[in-house]
Chains A and B, each alone.
Chain A
């Protein structure tokens, strides 16, 4: 099931990506230093309890990060971390992780 979701996410992210998105993604890679310990620079989770972000839908990522920042959503790590991330950086981070592709295949 999750593999399917990831698969469609990759397709829609690729469809949405334009030249501007590519620049944002490049800038976002630098910002992702803040995320790498748990979500990886490759967008694949490095710790239990953290989700894969590679190829995730950009708008969803923006909403999730914003919700942690405002307190609408709570998590011991993300609520603390997002306090130091600007709205502009949230856009860049979301662009970066949305731009990553994963070799997801539907289950046989």
Chain B
């Protein structure tokens, strides 16, 4: 009898095996950090850029409305495309996913359409490697669900399956493993003007229970953390954030701006989405006392919120899901756009009539605060509410054009101005 059970356990363990097994064989990450070969196949999996599929996507893009003089075209077919990091040398763009892969996208002939999309660092098992970001000196960081990887000279090594790789934050140390969830678990990262690594940490709930608040405040979940680029001196930078999946520093005044996704289940038109500005460390942005903007959550409506809550610079459409954002530093676009913010709205998942699925533009005043916000690219949402795309992130190519990622279609688009 016991034998039978043992056999059954063994069999089911084998059936479930791949992830468990991967941990028992010598760890590839360890080998790569010693500059050892893993024996990974030199035949790196690539994503076919199927002309028929590309034509279908370009047909959708022909319906997208843009200001006069701008055009949008398919740049690359990239499955599950989420956040993007354009290499400082302009050779390759890395694209994170909410699955288990990071893709490397290369435009070899520089015709502004990528020729090659292949899996980056295929010998490393990744889990929700959504956040990708570069330091100015070419170090690529990948923020996974519960680990942070570093690839020095990623743009140099990426042609090979084995890439120099290190863990900046070890598996299980970004958040307490007990708090791992499939919800609000996609991170984004940036290297700040202080040369520290900033990472957003969403909390798993719509509105968390009170007994979770102390833990989240301590580890910086429901906030933004920062650390030295080697992972040391970790600290909580901002609190009171529900689930930020987009941030960038204003190169002009070094303030950190970030989007935040707000509470569900309070009706179609509240609370608003947020674009926030952190002018210094230690600020509280109001969640869970506020569910978005100045709307109080039902769960905390009798509690006294912190006195010094910082309210958003911009209140966005309710449930539109503001995700990736960036400051435009190029010169290809007209003067109006220079120094302003592009941000992507993924589109609502729970609104009776969907909203979002567009790229927004926010201009700034002389004093560095938000001025006006308006749609920049829209048309991925049909009149009857069907999605033809869901923008996730925006990134700038070296020529000053704008990349937009879409995880529904699985593609990157390029928006350019003029010829």
**A in complex with B:** yes
Q: Do A41 and B265 touch across chains, with their CB atoms under 8 A apart?
A: no
Bound-state Cα–Cα, A80 to B183, Å: 13
Interface centre among B264, B349, B407 (most CB of A within 10 A): B349
- How many Å lie between the Cα of A70 and that of B332 in the bound state? 54
User: In chain B, what residue has the closest Cβ to A35?
Assistant: B349
The interface bits of chain B over 199-211 (1 if a CB of A lies within 8 angstroms of the residue's CB, else 0) are: 0000011100000
Interface of B is mostly: loop
Task: Count A interface residues, CB 8 Å.
Answer: 18
CA A77 to CA B210, docked complex, whole Å: 19
A34 vs chain B, min Cβ distance (A): 7
Give the bracket for the number of chain B residues in contact with chain A. 20 to 34
Please measure, in the bound complex, the distance between the C-alpha atom of A27 and the C-alpha atom of B204, giving whole angstroms. Answer: 34
For window 249-299 of B, CB contacts with A under 8 Å fall at 264-265
Select from chain B the residue with minimum beta-carbon distance to A30. B384
A38: CB under 8 A from chain B? Answer: yes
A11 proximal to B (CB < 8 A)? no
Chain B residues within 8 Å of A48, by CB = 98-99, 128, 182
Interface members, chain A 12-56 (any B CB < 8 Å): 30, 33-34, 36-38, 41, 46-49
B324-357 vs A, Cβ < 8 Å mask (1 yes, 0 no): 0000000000000000000000011110111000
Query: Which residue on chain B has the smallest CB distance to residue A76?
Result: B183
Check if B352 sits within 8 Å of A49, measured CB to CB: no
Interface 9-residue window, one of B114-122, B369-377, B385-393: B385-393
B206 touches A76 (CB 8 A): yes
Please pick, from B99, B128, B206, B386, the residue contacting A33 in the complex, using a CB distance under 8 A. Answer: B386
Closest CB-CB distance, A45 to chain B, in whole Å? Answer: 11
Whole-angstrom CA separation of A33 from B268 in the bound complex: 14
- The answer to whether A37 and B387 touch across the interface, beta carbons within 8 angstroms, is yes
Kindly state whether residue A3 has any CB partner on chain B within 8 Å: no
B386/A41 in contact, CB under 8 A: yes
Is there contact, CB below 8 Å, between B354 and A33?
yes
| Inter-subunit contact A47/B387 (CB<8 Å) | no
Known A37-B348, A83-B265: A76·B387 in contact at CB below 8 Å: no
Decide if B408 is an interface residue (CB 8 Å cutoff).
Answer: yes
Given contacts A33-B385, A48-B128, contact A77 B205 (CB under 8 A): no
Give Cα A36 to B353, complex, Å: 12
A36 touches B206 (CB 8 A): no
The reply to whether A49 and B183 contact each other, CB–CB distance below 8 Å, is yes
Q: How far is the CA of A67 from the CA of B349 in the complex (A)?
A: 20
Minimum distance in angstroms from A33 CB to a CB of chain B: 4
Residues of B within 8 A of A108 (CB): none
The proximity string for B residues 363-404 relative to A, scoring 1 for CB distances below 8 Å and 0 otherwise, is 000000000000000000000111100100000000000000
Chain A residues with Cβ under 8 A from B183's Cβ?
49, 76-77
- Bound together, the chains give a CA A46 to CA B97 distance in angstroms of 12
Measured CA separation A77–B181 after assembly (Å): 12
Query: Using Cβ atoms and an 8 Å threshold, which residues of chain A touch B384?
Result: 30, 33
Residues on A with beta carbons closer than 8 Å to the beta carbon of B204: 76
Measured between beta carbons, the chain B residues less than 8 angstroms from A46 are 407-408
Tell me the complex Cα distance, A33–B388, Å. 12
Q: Are A34 and B206 in contact (CB under 8 A)?
A: no
Of all chain A residues, the one with the shortest Cβ separation from B182 is A49
Which residue in chain B gives the minimum CB-CB distance to A78? B350
Complex Cα distance, B384 from A86, in Å, reads 20
Contact between chains at B385 and A37 (CB < 8 Å): no
Residue A81 lies at the interface, judged by CB distance under 8 Å to chain B: yes
Q: Contacts A37-B348, A37-B387 given; indicate if A80 touches B206 (C-beta within 8 A).
A: yes
CB atoms of A36 and B386 under 8 A apart: yes
**Cβ contacts B173-196/A at 8 Å (1 or 0 each):** 000000001110000000000000
For the complex formed, measure the closest distance between the CB of A81 and the CB atoms of chain B, giving whole angstroms.
5
User: A48-B98, A76-B183, A76-B204 are known contacts. Are A37 and B264 too (CB-CB below 8 A)?
Assistant: no
B15 / chain A contacts, CB cutoff of 8 Å: 1
A-chain residues with CB within 8 Å of residue B265 when the two chains form the complex: 80-81, 83
Shortest distance between the CB of A102 and any CB in chain B (Å): 18
Q: How far is the CB of B167 from chain A (nearest CB, A)?
A: 22
* Complex Cα spacing A49 to B145, Å: 13
Interface residues of B in 109-158 (CB under 8 A from A): 128
* Additional A-B contacts beyond A1-B15, A81-B264, A81-B350 (8; CB < 8 A): A33-B384, A33-B385, A37-B354, A46-B408, A47-B98, A48-B128, A76-B181, A83-B265
> Can you pick out 9 interface pairs between chain A and chain B where the beta carbons lie within 8 Å of each other?
A1-B15, A33-B385, A37-B387, A46-B407, A76-B206, A77-B349, A80-B206, A80-B350, A84-B352
Pairs A-B, 5 closest by C-beta atoms: A49-B182, A37-B349, A80-B265, A33-B385, A80-B264
